[in-house]
Amino acid sequence: MLHVLDKKLLRDLLRIWAQSLAVAMVMACGVATIILAVGASRSLEETRSAFYDRYRFGSVFASVVRAPDHLESRIKAIPGVSAAELRVVEPVILDITGMAEPASGLLVSVPDNRQAEVNRLYIRTGRLPSANQGNEVAVIETFANAHGFRPGDRFNVIMNGRKRALTIVGIVLSPEFIYAIGPGDMVPDPKRFGVFYMSESVLSSVFDMENSFNDLSLSTLRGSDTRAIMESVDALLDNYGAAGAYDRPDQISNAFLDSELNQLAAMAKIIPPIFLLVSAFLVNMILSRLVALEREHVGLFKALGYSNFAIGAHYAKLVILIALVGLVIGSGAGWWLGRGLTRLYANFFSFPFLIFTKSLDLYAIAGSVAVVSSLAGAAKSIWSISNLPPAIAMRPPAPEIYRSFFGRRLRWASWVSQLTIMSLRQLIRRPVRSGLTTLGTSMSVALLVTALFSFDSIDYMIDVIFFQSDRQDASLTFASDTSSSAIFDVAALPGVIRTEPFRATQVKLRNEHREVKMSLLALSAGSQLSRILDEDLKPMEPPPNGLVISELVAAKLKLRPGDMVEIELTSKGRRIDYAPVVGIAQSYVGLTAYASLPFLNSLMRDGSKISGARIAIDQNALGDLYANVKNTPAIAGIALQDISRQKFRDTIEENIITMTTVYVSLAVIITFGVIYNSARIQLSERARELASLRVFGFTTAEVSKVLLIELSVIVLAAQPLGWLLGYLFSLSVVKGFSSDLFRIPFVINAPTFAWASLVVLSSALASALIVRRRVDRLNLIRVLKTRE
């Protein structure tokens, strides 16, 4: 048998269902975003760690020019190393039928007749290549899917100067290439970049690497000191052209996953609290009105003998019920969106399986947070009504006191109508509520600015990277550093209009105890295709003596122009040199330092060499150039700027469209929740006043003005506040995004603010108009016959 008070509760809830649902929806957004962000990040994390564990993803990695296999026993003897895999890894250019531009790939050796100890492959279909068949290859799944390849299909690869037709025998996934990104690309393009596995003996013989290796992956024992292991590895490999050992945080695929997980964590920190705060405020608003309306009933209940606690519990239950509705809707939405997001990740990141974590605790946490935040919003009303003495409760509340704006002397100019004054005085009389309503509405604006600004930032980034800094059409990388005269061969390729040589080498830069690993890029004087940009994006010449370092490197090493920096040349046996910092450059991708070609060559002490060239291409001769590149053994890689940019833009745009849809929905829900409730409560509080106005002969349009002016002031005041909050949220997003791999410039253009406001203003208008219709239905006679 239902308690009488509980029956009242259910009927109350039915009566105010629209308002309760609006609040529950806002709460649901909070719950859904918690479940989405935390749930997806847990799933991603679990999936990754299961893949890593089962397929023995390495912990320390190193590459060398060429080192003898007999080092294996000494490598395995390094304390903390549990397994080592010595491999041959070679960048190659592919020639795929039906695809004009050359694709690039990485050939990786797999041990003959045994499973790899480190970085094992997950075989989706087929098998691993055998040692006896020289043309067998297993290809990474993303590449196979992009080209529709099945086992048995063939494609051509330029291996050490010779074109070879390889036959696919298996389709595989590797923990090493969950995120497989090609040279010069900013997002994966599986059509133009693939990873290919061939038998070790075959690869060794093709690349003249018998009894040698050029790549090393190590597993380490739990709790071992990877830093010490890396140092031992570097010491062992010093004399073999080592590029320096690195661990998981610097492994590119792993680092991208880390940065995605960081973004989810940042989302979980910023977005759910916004919704929970707004819903707490809405609960506060609704309950305080309900309690005001039911004041006399409460007096009666108390007179009948109900305890203060029973009254408090009655209203607390109402709030908890609303929170539970929010929890149910939010959980459903969060679960559904979370699965969607994890699937999206599965497309972007290449996993053999997906683990959806069943996080019951997460639902419990989200539920408690929703209930607690709504009870916090209700606390004041519940407290005051529970403690109101019955005799006072049964009397109507004291009349409301209003104030003149500027004292009584000042009369309002005739242009301000009394209706406007009514609205404005109401706003001023409840400054806290007006302020919070404004703040709530501004949250939607802020949320939209935060969602939309990335468009501006990415546009700006594309402009800086592709149109101001790296303006070449393509970048060719040689198989190894070559005499600088090779630039003439490049210039002689068909369609090449301009060439600019570059040399790149791995270095560690140090200042006192601070150290960063990076690539040092040397450019020739007067480079026009590839330019160094200073912090104001003005082009700088490569310095004849010394280094220009990127902003982030300067910050990490605490270096300023004029300081000396220690340079460790990784591939030169870790030889140490020093150079002055002569400038700071702007760079959004990776950690970078620049030098002039002669300066780097003087540091390297190996003659005048280059690693590749940036080229401008005559678009009409593109076909000839591609054909030539595919047949030039010295060219190990080609990065095509136009295609990279297009792919980057497409990927980002797709993400932004999804994200914008989600955020616009969220913002509309907040705006609707705040404005609808605010208007309903105003209407309830002022029904009598408004009905009186109708009696005096004001039209419904004029009467609605009183409501609409008040809402307009709130919504308009919310705009600049929302812009400011959006600016701050966006700034924190930019900071959260920032990693060594990738930084987003902080740019918000005026149209972004305008769009955010437009969405919020339209949804505010829509919700106000829904309430406005109720003005037409005001019962004039009833309100006039009753005392409030």
CB of 423 to other proteins, least distance (A): 8
CA distance 357 to 371: 24
Asked if residue 293 binds other proteins (CB under 8 A), the reply is no
Whole-Å CA distances, 192 to 100, 147, 418? 11, 10, 70
CB of 787 to other proteins, least distance (A): 5
CB of 293 to other proteins, least distance (A): 17
- Between 113 and 418, name the residue whose CB sits nearer to other proteins: 418
Amino acid at the residue 725: L
CA distance 581 to 563: 6
- Between 417 and 651, name the residue whose CB sits nearer to other proteins: 417
- Between 541 and 689, name the residue whose CB sits nearer to other proteins: 689
CB of 684 to other proteins, least distance (A): 15
Measured between alpha carbons, how far apart are the two ends of the chain, in Å? 35
Q: Are 726 and 573 in contact (CB under 8 A)?
A: no
Helices vs strands, H then E, count in the chain: 21, 22
CB of 358 to other proteins, least distance (A): 52
From the CB of residue 348, how many other CB atoms can be counted at a distance below 10 Å? 17
CA distance 29 to 671: 12
Query: Given the rule CB under 8 A, which of 419-427, 526-534, 713-721, 748-756 is the region that contacts other proteins?
Result: 419-427
**Structure token digits, residue 132:** 């006896």
CB of 415 to other proteins, least distance (A): 11
Asked if residue 419 binds other proteins (CB under 8 A), the reply is yes
CA distance 256 to 262: 10
**Cα–Cα nearest to 711, from 519, 515, 455, 427:** 427
Which positions from 701 through 740 interact with other proteins, judged by CB under 8 A? 702
Query: Given the rule CB under 8 A, which of 45-53, 114-122, 219-227, 395-403 is the region that contacts other proteins?
Result: 395-403
Query: Given the rule CB under 8 A, which of 45-53, 68-76, 398-406, 610-618 is the region that contacts other proteins?
Result: 398-406
Query: Given the rule CB under 8 A, which of 161-169, 521-529, 583-591, 779-787 is the region that contacts other proteins?
Result: 779-787
Query: Given the rule CB under 8 A, which of 170-178, 502-510, 563-571, 699-707 is the region that contacts other proteins?
Result: 699-707
Asked if residue 408 binds other proteins (CB under 8 A), the reply is yes
Asked if residue 504 binds other proteins (CB under 8 A), the reply is no
- Between 407 and 526, name the residue whose CB sits nearer to other proteins: 407
Whole-Å CA distances, 546 to 390, 540, 605? 84, 13, 16
Q: Which helix (H) or strand (E) holds 705?
A: helix 700-737
The helix/strand/coil state of 510 is strand
Query: Given the rule CB under 8 A, which of 558-566, 608-616, 627-635, 778-786 is the region that contacts other proteins?
Result: 778-786
Asked if residue 692 binds other proteins (CB under 8 A), the reply is yes
Asked if residue 415 binds other proteins (CB under 8 A), the reply is no
- Between 383 and 402, name the residue whose CB sits nearer to other proteins: 402
**Cα–Cα nearest to 729, from 267, 175, 166:** 267
Asked if residue 417 binds other proteins (CB under 8 A), the reply is yes
In the numeric block, the tokens 């996953």 are attached to 257
Asked if residue 296 binds other proteins (CB under 8 A), the reply is no
Query: Given the rule CB under 8 A, which of 183-191, 457-465, 597-605, 776-784 is the region that contacts other proteins?
Result: 776-784
Buried b (16+ CB within 10 A) or exposed e, 578-587: ebebbbbbbb
CA distance 328 to 316: 18
Asked if residue 657 binds other proteins (CB under 8 A), the reply is no
Asked if residue 752 binds other proteins (CB under 8 A), the reply is no
**Cα–Cα nearest to 440, from 326, 282, 593:** 282
- Between 429 and 514, name the residue whose CB sits nearer to other proteins: 429
Q: Are 161 and 131 in contact (CB under 8 A)?
A: no
**Cα–Cα nearest to 710, from 667, 776, 772, 755:** 772
Which positions from 430 through 459 interact with other proteins, judged by CB under 8 A? none
Q: Are 557 and 511 in contact (CB under 8 A)?
A: yes
Number of residues that bind other proteins (CB under 8 A): 34
Binder of other proteins out of 412, 727, 737, 746 (CB under 8 A): 412
The site for other proteins (CB under 8 A) is made up of 399-402, 404, 408, 412, 417-419, 421-422, 425-426, 429, 688-689, 692-700, 702, 780-781, 784-788
